[in-house]
Structure 1
Amino acid sequence: MVCLNISPRVALVDERISITANNLRPLQRVTVQAWVEEGKAVFSSCGHFLADQQGQIHVSQHNSVGGTYKGVDNMGLFWSMNPVPGVSLQPILRKVDVMTPLVFRLSVMDDHIPFDDLQLPSSVVLATGELQRCYKHRTVRRIEVHVGSLRGTIFLPEGKGPFPGVLDMFGSTGGLVEFRAALLASRGFVSFALAYFNYDDLPSSLADVDFDYLLDAVHWLASHPHVKPGGIGVVGSSKGGEMAFLLGMATDKAWKNNAQILYLLGDDDAVWNTDHANTFVRSCPEEKRKNINLVTYPGGGHLIEPPYMPLYRAMYHPLLGSMVVMGGHPEAHAAAQEDAWRRLLHFIQKHVA
């Protein structure tokens, strides 16, 4: 009987996974498929492998010769995922309820099966397994924030602390996005996922966002009893990145104390003009430019998120009422996300902790 081994079976989304199959025929052609459902999103991927002379496949060592990715990459089955044609009603795989894991079903099937044919009943399944990938470590506490006008969620690591504090903001779709904050807390940071418009009783338009609201969030988090004194970090994506820059430069204390800035972008970003990054650096006082670490990823798109998540080249923007092209190339974007997450954690640990 073919045996599929997945280790660990419960892991954070930024952890690498080991996938092996045993008891195959020597040189047997097989397809390894991954499948996940999250709300209306149904995503799948596959790799085509050739068993070795011992009848084994190690996804981290063996070459995928076809499917949704090629080459040797034990996380290729995750970053190369695509919406299942005719099944998925959402083009984005994004965790809304971070208290529950993403549950992946993995299967080993006989022969090399094209991605579009994987759902046909003729596929012969040799072995199956399940994997849970989490944004929140089980010991992280999630607390809703409803303090004055502030709206959001704070995530607290295990223990009394104090811990480094991070304010986390997303982009122009608004609402409350928690997955990155939950993952940051799992890595030892008190993280505040801040909603700043299009949520609860907050303004429905970006144009109505009051900058003092963001300053209030900074002061509230910096004074939280679980947060180390001396300042916090701010992480932002897209419009949230703009807000992070403004908070770093428009608050006299942070700017005078040499606030450090890590600027990460993909050179295939189809939303922002990447020349703006150089313009931003040139617009800063010369003595402050040394505090800006600008990293540009070849082939990276607009949405650089935690590692091993699939690329969204286009998505529906609810406020614009139309599709927006995000850019990026799958393999290059996957490499960008992995490196960016490593840099981000190191940067916060160094300059905030």
Structure 2
Amino acid sequence: MSGQVALLVSPARALVDVPVDIRVAGLSPRQPVTLQARLVEVPDRVQSYAHYRADDSGRVAVGQQPSLGGLLRVSGINTVFCDLEYMPLVCNLSIWWTPQNVTNTCLQTPNPFSGVEQMGLFWSMQPSPGQSLGQRLDKENVTTPHLVDISVHEGHVDVMGEDTLPRLAHTCVEWWYMADGVKRMPVKEGRIRGTLFLPPGPGKFPGVLDMYGVLGGLTERRAALLASRGFAALALAYFNYDDLPKDVTDIDLDYFEEATDWLLRQPSVLGPGVGALGISKGGEIALAMAVHLDKSIARMKAHGKTNFTRLTYEGAGHVIEPPYTPHCSTGNLNGVFTAFGGNPKDVVAAQEDSWFKILGFLRRHLDKKRTDSRLCEDYRSLLTIDGKKVPDPLEDLKSGWQTEGEGMQHWPPTMYADMAEYLVASGEVDLRKRLMGDYKDGKAFSYFDAYMKFCITLLAMSQMCAL
């Protein structure tokens, strides 16, 4: 070993939808190591690990180097399952009938994130040996973070269930659903039961009702994250909580209309409508609200209308949570084991894509004025370079196309040499080599497509500012 091993994690305190950069330094050249992520929060205990090999300088960068394998925990249970058509327009589930006292076993299988996966250590975490089957990572107290222990171990080893293996280095990551300044307020108004989360600072915020599925109770983690992203989010319980009905069959749509009206009456909530976000049974309710309630802003006015967006994710299974949530392929629904399905890599791709599209959809429909203003600010900031305002190329084009000579007066072309010099100054030597290699191979045209997409984006933003 070359010296003291350093494990560098940035940011060490982050919201769960923010990628974390993990690097190891101080290893010997080409040294094999195992990186482990472990989260212990009673009663949950989950972990993951992956094998890496240091580069010639004795470093590992998880976001740049491929994992060489590891261990994916799967259930070793022999059971018969049957398909059950469930929740029309929302999902199909497969129900697994198994005894309640079954626990997980470990099987050697290909690592779920072989290859480059910056957040693989997080989203591939699975229940540790001895944990009950169907355990799904939850966060009952969102005012505290998940504490994820990241450690480095010598060689390529199996660390599942091992608490005493020597560590070359370790650190702890605070993984938050609730950002600093977010306010949490329990709600017990009339029939309404839940928790309201408000973003930091004064003002009115777009409102969202957030609902989970057939386990009932109150789940706060996603509503806390929505508030961290600028929404007044009501985590809404609708059965099996407090004095609400114990059975999911004893609910009616009037309850959700009352919750909508209550949310809109709050002084911190921006009207005239609210959004509804649901998973599993909550997804079915959100669809019903979109069809029947006028105050649900993303309303489908009649069956057969096309004023909605449908996203389809093959291989993602039934449960799609916010980004990097550990994949749970089997759920314990009060003793009935349900196969949620899904391939881990497909699930995390669906998490990332859907979450940010959901946030954009809600902002676009609930807070259009602020969204347009933000686009204008972003566009104008692009016209300021090193503190100096440059001419608006799209404003110049309104009078007609310019000649090459006229265009170069305002916007001199960026040469490959300039790009290479910038990349070297930024320490991006590998990108500089790739750039110049493409130039020598006659692939300069490959950069034109990205440039045109950038120009089209600028055009759309400038037109928005002109409105």
User: What's the CA shift string for 1:159-212, capped at 9, x where partnerless?
Assistant: 111011001111111000100000000000000001011000000011111221
CA distance in 2, matches of 1:324, 1:13: 26
Match of 2:343 in 1: 329
Quick check: 1:43 aligned with 2:46? yes
Match of 2:276 in 1: 234
Matched letter for residue 363 of structure 2: Q
Q: Give the drift of 1:98.
A: 0.5
Matched letter for residue 9 of structure 2: I
1:259 pairs with 289, 299, 306, which one? 299
Matched letter for residue 250 of structure 2: D
Quick check: 1:148 aligned with 2:190? yes
1:58 pairs with 58, 61, 70, which one? 61
Matched letter for residue 186 of structure 1: S
User: Where do 4+ consecutive residues of structure 1 move more than 6 Å?
Assistant: none
1:70 pairs with 96, 111, 114, which one? 114
Matches within 5 A, 1:119-198: 119=162, 121=164, 123-198=165-240
Match of 2:445 in 1: none
Q: Give the drift of 1:87.
A: 5.1
Matches within 5 A, 1:292-311: 292-311=308-327
| Distance change >3 Å, CA 60–CA 322, structure 1 → 2 | same
Match of 2:332 in 1: 316
| Distance change >3 Å, CA 170–CA 196, structure 1 → 2 | same
CA distance in 2, matches of 1:111, 1:211: 57
Higher helix share: 2
Q: Give the drift of 1:253.
A: 5.7
Q: Give the drift of 1:226.
A: 0.3
Instruction: Give the secondary-structure state (helix, strand or coil) at the position aligned to 2:153.
Output: strand
CA distance in 2, matches of 1:112, 1:147: 55
Quick check: 1:338 aligned with 2:378? no
Unaligned runs of 5+ in 1: 262-283
User: What's the CA shift string for 1:271-298, capped at 9, x where partnerless?
Assistant: xxxxxxxxxxxxx544x22x12111101
Matched letter for residue 48 of structure 2: S
CA distance in 1, matches of 2:298, 2:351: 27
Unaligned runs of 5+ in 2: 71-110, 368-467
Q: How big is the alpha-carbon RMSD for the aligned residues of Structure 1 and Structure 2?
A: 1.7
Q: Give the drift of 1:97.
A: 0.8
- Does structure 2 conserve the Cα–Cα contact (< 8 Å) formed by 1:41 and 1:90? no
- Does structure 1 conserve the Cα–Cα contact (< 8 Å) formed by 2:134 and 2:330? no
**TM-score, length-scaled by structure 1:** 0.88
Instruction: Give the secondary-structure state (helix, strand or coil) at the position aligned to 1:16.
Output: coil
What is the aligned length? Answer: 323
| Distance change >3 Å, CA 131–CA 145, structure 1 → 2 | same
Q: Percent identity?
A: 44
Matched letter for residue 180 of structure 1: R
Match of 1:222 in 2: 264
CA distance in 1, matches of 2:33, 2:128: 20
Quick check: 1:106 aligned with 2:146? no
Rg comparison, structure with higher value? 2
CA distance in 2, matches of 1:158, 1:292: 31
